Chains A and B, each alone.
Chain A
Amino acid sequence: MSQTERYLLTRANIEGAHQLAVAEKNGAYEALRKVLKEGIPYSTVIDEVKKSGLRGRGGAGFSTGMKWTFMPDPAKDPRPRYLAVNADESEPGTCKDRVIMQRDPHGFVEGVLLAAYAIRAQAAYIYVRGEYRLPHDRVKAAIEEARAKNLVGKNILGSDFSCEVYMHRGGGAYICGEETGLMESLEGKRGHPRPKPPFPAMFGLWGQPTTVNNVETVFNVPFIMNRGSAWFASLGTANSKGNFLCGISGHVNKPGVYEFSFGITAKEILEQHAGGMWKGRGLKAWFPGGSSCSLLKGSDIDVVLDHDSLRARGSSLGTAAMIMIDDHTSMARVMEIISRFYDHESCGQCSQCREGTQWLSQIFRRIAHGKGKADDVATLEALAKGMAPGKTICALSDAAAIPTLSAVRLFKDELIECVTRQADPLAVPQPHYAVAGGHH
């Protein structure tokens, strides 16, 4: 499939687009002006977004328009209501929202405002991962610029729509990218995900109706409002509409964040855009959408990148963050790192997740270091099945279990070989360095 059209990064690629003057010259806030000047009702915005087929870009791929309809009717429920924007991008392999915030913060703020308009929120909180200082500063500056031009704040552009937009910073905890963990953190607490129900639309920030949307999700909304849902729906495939930002990382010649329409194949992305595998090597395995989805074998690279096609291959689109692994790489090593990550990031509330992520990590580490035991691979599988699906408050436990199960399914022989040889045949010597406190 040939690429049809690009829109997401058009403005971002213009020098200085993070400044209001440049951004406005290139179309920023046009959709907001149109909606407010023409008095387009919020329900029409929701309908348009529903009709467009936009699905959340934060990993779960839920219909954005549908999510907005979960907010209670303000006529019946006059409580204050909030939009929380999830900019806590921390899924390994994912680095797309950063590009938006850093290079087109005004386009993003416009998206935030339109989303807030649709759900009739009087305030939007943008929760940016703490490490993203530059993206944070850029968006914060953009908000101030926009406020000075009456694009943010009271009676925006003379309409009766008022909305404050605030920046909030995380503290480096992956779990705060989970929407309820994010809300807890925003409230100034440990980022422990909340059991659901109640759902955020009824009981969100400070117990009030809240919608949580990802950066790239709201970023799409101005384009939909400008060019219409039919245009948006003309891009992509049956159930995955529009363009998406695809981060491609790992062993490729040209890693980067690219924009594609759904329907492109992973093979085309790898070969035509990412410059193929590095060092002329073959593709052994890859994650199509961040480390929390199932690994696919290199031979599965001909798959179309969209929600349905990846599900059919037993994986998922996730955040469309492709992590490419070459054929010189040890899968025991890969899983040692992936499992260490989930152990590091589990919030620790749920027993299965707290203990299970540590356990998986310990086993993968032993296998990768030539200390595997005969029943380790079977234990990995049993543990992962005990951790998911749906056994815990949030999906972090699932996120640790899913790649584990795929690794055990696809690379069982390799893992067992590490165990039987008491050494990882593909291990590369690691450099030495001192570690404080004696632990590595």
Chain B
Amino acid sequence: MALEANLVAEFDQLAKNYPEKRAIMMLALHRLQDVRGWLSPEALEDLAAYLGMEPVEVFGVASFYPMYRLRPCGQHVVSICHNISCDLRGAQDIVAAVCEATGAPLHGTSPDGKFTVTTVECAGACANAPMFDLDGVYHEDLTPEKAKQIVRSVK
């Protein structure tokens, strides 16, 4: 499989913003992940071919950044901040609440494949702790009840 035609067009455009094509790497990995759900080996190879690089180089970059998912995940991803400001205000209770509401173990996916639940280090929402990110949207000033409610309202 090669890169989707629309992505190729998009990446070609993006590459004009940089003196080196390789610089689109981070943005391209994000886009590819958005489109394909996760960064499969094939996805990394496709991007490598597009960038004229070795797949191992793209893999080395992708594996460095926690946001890139190198394994398949559920339809929705809940990333709960468990760094200090959130922990001081009950992040662990949020983890428990989200795991309960989704049926997913932490760092795992719910049996119905709907949710992947994970913890992340400081998401930069410390003044509104605790918080989680659900599919790229921040939910802040959480309580366990509010957390469960948000998760349960996901279609």
Contacts and interface: CB of A to CB of B under 8 A. Distances in A.
Interface of A: 80, 89-95, 97-98, 123, 129-134, 164, 166, 168-174, 185-191, 206, 247-251, 255-257, 291, 321, 323, 325, 329, 333-334, 337-338, 341, 344-345, 347, 430-437, 439-440
B123 A337 contact: no
Q: Which of A93, A94, A325 has the most CB of B within 10 A?
A: A93
A434 B20 contact: no
Contacts of B67: 130-131, 170-172
Contact of A323 (B60, B107, B126): B126
Interface in B26-47: 26-27, 29-30
A224 B60 CA distance: 43
B6 interface: no
Interface of B: 17-20, 22-27, 29-30, 51, 60-61, 64-68, 79, 82-85, 87-89, 92-93, 95-96, 99-100, 104-109, 120-129, 133, 136-138
10 contacts: A130-B67, A131-B67, A168-B27, A186-B26, A191-B64, A248-B127, A333-B87, A337-B83, A434-B99, A434-B105
A256 B129 CA distance: 10
Given A172-B67, A255-B127, A433 B105 contact: yes
A309 B29 CA distance: 44
Given A251-B88, A431-B95, A189 B61 contact: yes
B85 A93 contact: yes
A261 to B, nearest CB: 19
A247 B22 contact: no
Contacts of B124: 89-90, 94-95, 97-98, 129, 131-132
Contacts, number: 174
B29 A93 contact: no
B89 A251 contact: yes
Given A130-B67, A166-B17, A171-B67, A337 B84 contact: yes
B27 A325 contact: no
A38 B122 CA distance: 44
A131 B133 contact: yes
A274 B25 CA distance: 41
Nearest to B22: A188
Given A337-B87, A431-B93, 8 more contacts: A90-B121, A129-B124, A130-B26, A134-B138, A188-B61, A206-B23, A341-B121, A439-B107
Nearest to A173: B65
Contacts of A131: 67, 79, 120, 123-124, 133, 138
B26 A345 contact: no
A429 to B, nearest CB: 10
Contact of B88 (A97, A321, A329): A329
Contacts of B23: 186-188, 206
Contacts of B26: 130, 168-171, 185-186, 188
A328 B137 CA distance: 32
